Amino acid sequence: MKKRMTEALLQRFPDAVLSIQEIACDEMHYHISIQTAEFVGKTLLEQHKMVYCTIGEYVGNEVHAVKIKTASPSY
């Protein structure tokens, strides 16, 4: 699952600095940390929606819970 989410997020955000960590040892709970220039000028809620729209098909099915941390690059 981690691999599929990584592939989906990097396809949607090719410039992203991405980390996906399994929170529990059940392959159903994850922490996603993502930094991309596409978040510049977006609110935190908009950033999280962008991520969730990318991986939403997995959440509630193979993935039970996702904690998301987003950031835009600081220049």
In tens, the pLDDT along 56-69 reads 888 777 777 889 99
pTM, to two decimals: 0.86
The span from the CA of 21 to the CA of 10, in Å, is 15
Question: Of 36, 2, 39, nearest to 17 (Cα)?
Answer: 36
Residues with Cβ within 8 Å of 75's Cβ and at least 6 positions away in sequence, in order, are none
pLDDT score of 52 more than 90: yes
Backbone angles phi, psi at 69, to 5 degrees: -125, 120
pLDDT (0 to 100) of residue 75: 61
pLDDT, average across residues 15-43 = 92
Question: Which domains are assigned to the chain?
Answer: 1-71 (3.30.300.90)
Q: Does an H or E element contain 44, and which?
A: helix 44-55
